[in-house]
Chain A
């Protein structure tokens, strides 16, 4: 028995200390030196205060801002222990709706969003909740549809906003991978900076 257990215990303990502590800690140090911004969470600051991460979407409800995708994240409901309530873009608890394709609740939510957004056809990303609940992007079509609302709320010419959206539209990575998209936080920051 010891013939089997001694190597088993020793090897597992050594690997736990080596692969679980020594290597990850050294790796953390190296990563922090080589890529400090990314390793620290790609944080975005304005006037010296952290206002979010460029990778993590945040909630925008005011007509003066471009709106992100629907988010299914929740938070504990203080009024009702053990249950949760909707809390879009709660980054402390990433979540999707997990509703199935024949879910009546999902179809109802989609139908309602289509109506709120002014009728068909609505870009799919505007009518559906993201996988992470923290999607930082919207599709360029989704952003373009919001220009009129934001322009009216801010009293700005639509052409200026169209130009802003175009400049914040990121193409496919390396010209091939992924989809064209607009980072909502970056766009809204630029919007606030407009004179």
Chain B
């Protein structure tokens, strides 16, 4: 670790937070319908779709509308992928995507996971990338933000029956938040070297006379929304480590900014919606704290290098370079890794599978903590609010008072629903991993022997259920078993989580908002920040300790003992 490295980390994080502050206010204004510069487009959509944007929806109506939009989106994407071979803008002549892979990919992009069992440049036509995947990069992100807005509104006032209009929230987040940011960031990405063209791949004759096929495509715009929407699905196979997808250290820094700025801003937007900005700052403090600690741990582990390789004669200056490109440097790899897994993005600018055991455990653990640090766009906010409810519940148990959060009484019903939501992740991750490591045809997908093999399988289900999408790439994921079960894990992680959370929102919205009294536990101070961090760490972390001990921790000690597999 170097001072220069930490300066890079500090500068990027500072610019994220500096931009998140005004963006938070802007998102709150968009959510309230006060931003109207695309009003004609907006009105045209409402008119064609028969939507009254002013009509409020209860939690059930809101959830049903959201599920309908996602179901339709899923079916259309599945069709687009299957029919790819018959459609235009396919200069490389790729065939339609096979059924299991199309199912997996459609689920993956609908749920904002962007797990990829295919490699972009050798499977996807330009048309599929644009009107299939780009669209879902937008809509799955807008879905997340809309849900976060609905949940936030439940705390805004007493005796609410309605949480907003899903269609209005959904359309406005696409048009006013995601689209302008994607255009600006996308153009910056082109300037930095990302391709944006419909030309076919280029056949170059290299200096030594060999033929090199250089893939191209409309990449920059998709990459912009892939990060801004915390989607993470790469245009090219190796994601942001591909020189066209991460052409420079500045580009990787802007990608880090893009994948963190909206999730961080939404924590502050929550403060604006509930009318108390300190509440948003407390959530932000927890998120930033975890990201900084995780970045430091990854940075230390990777900069320290692989002890086996150092003993074999590798110079220790650069650290563990297997699976990493030269241009980014270890500090930006560490910050990128912490934000992409903390923020449920899933893009990678280095290969986690070749990280040192502890360096690879941190991204795995960040996802297992529930994707709330800061979590995906929207999903991070409603996720951390669930933990906030559990934190005040724990505090209430300690002092023997009925817990309240922002003046709303948290009672048995909400706590049960919160636990239901929190248990989805461990059930999906540990359940599917346990089944897969005893099925011979599933185990055959594992590349590495020893504890690392378990880590590969554990990471896959963690990534899917956490809607992250990053991978320990050694796993051969394009098999019927993995495509199907990972698809199911993604659906559980997204929708089986959202429904109880929306039920909590509906239940809390209807309650009166109690005035602050001397007995109220303040939820904006350091005590609450510490309590919330503790609840996330204990609740999220303890469930996975045995699995982590068998995977990365065991591998760390095995490596220290000089053993290979």
Contacts and interface: CB of A to CB of B under 8 A. Distances in A.
A178 B326 CA distance: 8
B313 A114 contact: yes
A178 B329 contact: yes
Interface stretch (B71-79, B278-286, B410-418): B71-79
30 contacts: A6-B49, A8-B72, A14-B45, A20-B135, A23-B183, A31-B221, A35-B191, A42-B247, A43-B214, A51-B206, A52-B212, A55-B193, A94-B119, A94-B242, A95-B119, A96-B238, A96-B353, A98-B323, A99-B474, A100-B450, A101-B355, A101-B360, A101-B555, A102-B558, A124-B316, A127-B313, A131-B241, A131-B323, A141-B315, A179-B249
Given A43-B204, A102-B559, 13 more contacts: A11-B45, A11-B167, A27-B187, A32-B196, A39-B196, A53-B214, A101-B354, A128-B322, A134-B242, A176-B11, A178-B249, A178-B329, A179-B318
Nearest to B142: A15
Interface centre among B195, B207, B447, B456 (most CB of A within 10 A): B207
A98 to B, nearest CB: 4
Contacts of B7: 176
Interface string B318-342: 1111111111110010000000000
Interface of B: 4, 7-8, 11, 41, 45, 48-51, 64-65, 68-69, 71-73, 76, 119, 121-122, 130-132, 134-135, 138-139, 167, 170-171, 174, 179, 183, 186-187, 190-199, 201-208, 210, 212-216, 218, 220-222, 236-238, 241-244, 247-250, 252-253, 305-306, 308-309, 312-329, 332, 349-351, 353-357, 360, 447-448, 450-452, 455-456, 472-474, 555, 558-559, 563-565
Interface string A126-143: 011111111111110100
B244 A56 contact: yes
A4 B221 contact: no
B50 to A, nearest CB: 6
B318 A101 contact: no
Contacts of B356: 101
Shortest 6 CB-CB contacts between residues of A and residues of B: A178-B249, A120-B313, A20-B131, A10-B49, A100-B452, A131-B241
Nearest to B194: A38
Interface of A: 4-21, 23-25, 27-28, 30-32, 34-35, 38-43, 49-53, 55-62, 65, 69, 89-104, 106-107, 110-111, 114, 119-125, 127-139, 141, 172-174, 176-179, 181, 185, 188-189, 192
B323 A96 contact: yes
B69 A8 contact: yes
B351 A98 contact: yes
Nearest to A109: B322
Given A173-B248, A179-B327, A19 B306 contact: no
Contact of B354 (A10, A59, A97): A97
Contacts of A189: 207
A3 to B, nearest CB: 9
Contacts of A176: 4, 7-8, 11
B496 to A, nearest CB: 20
A62 B208 contact: yes
Contacts, number: 388
Given A10-B50, A91-B215, A124-B315, A40 B130 contact: no
A151 B236 CA distance: 37
Nearest to A61: B208
Nearest to A121: B315
Contacts of B194: 38
A104 B135 contact: no
Contact of B131 (A21, A42, A102): A21
Contact of B249 (A92, A102, A172, A192): A172
Given A20-B131, A27-B196, A38-B191, A133 B174 contact: no
Contact of B238 (A43, A51, A102, A131): A131
Given A4-B65, A188-B207, A130 B196 contact: no
A136 B214 CA distance: 13
A71 B316 CA distance: 20
Contacts of A61: 208
A28 B309 CA distance: 44
B332 A178 contact: yes
Contact of A56 (B198, B214, B324): B214
A111 B313 contact: yes
Contacts of B196: 27-28, 31-32, 39
Given A41-B214, A176-B11, A179-B326, A28 B64 contact: no
Contact of A137 (B130, B195, B250, B327): B327
A65 B206 CA distance: 12
Interface centre among A13, A49, A89, A127 (most CB of B within 10 A): A127
Nearest to B308: A107
Interface centre among A138, A177, A185 (most CB of B within 10 A): A177
